[in-house]
Amino acid sequence: MRIDVLKLYNFRNYTRLSISFHPNLNLIYGKNGSGKTNLVEAIYVLALTRSFRLVNEKTLILDTALMCKIEGTLYNNHATTYEILLSKDGKKVQINHDKVAKISDYISKIPIVLFHPDDLRFIKDTPSTRRKTVNISISLLDIPYLRYLNLYNKILKQRNSYLKQMAINGNSSTEYLKILTDKLIMYGSYIYKKREEFLEKINQHISTFYEKITGISGLKILYVSSYKGLNDEEIGELYQKSQAKDVDYRKTSIGIHMDDLKFLLNNRDLKEYGSEGQQKNAIIAYKFSEIEVFRECKGFYPILILDDLFSELDGEKIQNILNLLKTDIQTFITTTDVDNLNLPYLSYKQIHIQNGKVVEESEHERGK
């Protein structure tokens, strides 16, 4: 999949922009605050209808405007036009100029894998951040996943409020609790299986990528889940056992909403032992693995965005990461400095940004 043309209207600091991209590599460069991240953010919003930055959506619209529009022509066997309009009245999306009524029918059509500096939270933060990241990855591969996850969360809420009722009323009827628990297990098992399958596939690649970047082998992801290795009946017994405690705490203590994952480098948890650079490289190795897993499942590569990849990494690691880029993955890299980049034998386009405008574009064709 690739994006050929992007048009912006009142998006962030871009009043108007129309730009065509290189099918292989696009190097977006410019000073701090010029609009590099804004440009890749536009591609991300076009794909997923929301930003990767934790922002109020109003900030996506140019300060002085009331609405913004992003339009992109994407190519995957054939060309398709995607459009998203944002205003204070909400979002509207279109495919080939036809309105799409449900946002859920629109997202996941443009698969994107993104790295940006906040992604370090994937290792540093709480389990919920790790679950969210993995949820986004899996939802690109499996359409029902997010629906089942929402259903699970709905039942979980109902179960927790019933536990609270039981605690307050001293209500000992467990029949309704059992109905809720069975539903929770039904949706939860689906989520568990998808997470396990996905992380197993990631584990087939991640060590190799980490080694290519750092020269050190032995990275793997450990999936931690209360459902691990159990069938539905055994999971049911777990809920049974924790029932008294759950009523006491008025909260469900077992289930995929408690899942976590650990990045283990030769059995040491990178969250506790890893340096900033090691954590960053581990996440980059995860992203490259994700791309490969996507291709194995779907037969084509997603679009790759690497925002501000190079800060805090030494020159050797940067070079090793650049060497991982491939001609059949359309890649966007933002950087403040292009002069010191030694690109592998890839053709690319250099795009110079200043104050929300493209001031210079140049294509560089290379033989293999």
d(CA 209, CA 221): 13
Residues 60-99 vs ligand ATP: string with x where CB under 6 A?
A: -xxx------------------------------------
Residues 242-281 vs ligand ATP: string with x where CB under 6 A?
A: ----------------------------------------
42 or 304: CB nearest ligand ATP: 42
Contacts of 202 (CB under 8 A, 6+ apart): 221, 286, 289, 290, 293
**Residue 22: contacted member of Mg ion, ligand ATP, none (CB under 5 to 8 Å, by partner type):** none
- Answer whether 271's CB lies under 8 Å from 282's CB: no
Please report whether residue 38 would count as binding Mg ion according to CB under 5 A.
no
Residue nearest Mg ion, CB atom distance: 37
Taking CB under 5 A as the binding criterion, the range among 31-39, 48-56, 147-155, 261-269 that sits at the site for Mg ion is 31-39
Smallest Cα–Cα separation from 46: which of 91, 13, 78? 91
Whole-number minimum distance, CB 311 to ligand ATP, in Å?
9
Whole-number minimum distance, CB 318 to ligand ATP, in Å?
16
301 or 310: CB nearest ligand ATP: 310
Contacts of 217 (CB under 8 A, 6+ apart): 207, 210, 211
Please report whether residue 59 would count as binding ligand ATP according to CB under 6 A.
yes
Please report whether residue 335 would count as binding Mg ion according to CB under 5 A.
no
Among 24, 26, 37, 281, binds Mg ion (CB under 5 A): 37
Torsion from C-alpha of 354, 336, 118, 88, nearest 10 degrees? 0
107-166: which residues touch Mg ion (CB under 5 A)? none
Whole-number minimum distance, CB 33 to Mg ion, in Å?
8
Please report whether residue 57 would count as binding ligand ATP according to CB under 6 A.
no
Q: Is the dihedral of CA 230, 236, 237, 240 positive or negative?
A: positive
Cα of 128 vs its chain's centroid, Å = 14
Whole-number minimum distance, CB 334 to ligand ATP, in Å?
6
- Answer whether 293's CB lies under 8 Å from 301's CB: no
278-317: which residues touch ligand ATP (CB under 6 A)? 308
The per-residue b/e assignment along 290-312, b for 16 or more CB within 10 angstroms, e otherwise, is: bbbbbeeeeeebbbbbbbbbbee
**Residue 59: contacted member of ligand ATP, Mg ion, none (CB under 5 to 8 Å, by partner type):** ligand ATP
Structure tokens at 273: 């032992």
Phi, psi of 136 (to 5 degrees): -65, -45
**Residue 117: contacted member of ligand ATP, Mg ion, none (CB under 5 to 8 Å, by partner type):** none
Contacts of 14 (CB under 8 A, 6+ apart): 8, 35, 38, 39, 42, 62, 356, 357
How many residues bind to ligand ATP according to rule CB under 6 A?
16
HSE-up of residue 79 (Cα within 13 Å, Cβ side): 9
39 or 185: CB nearest Mg ion: 39
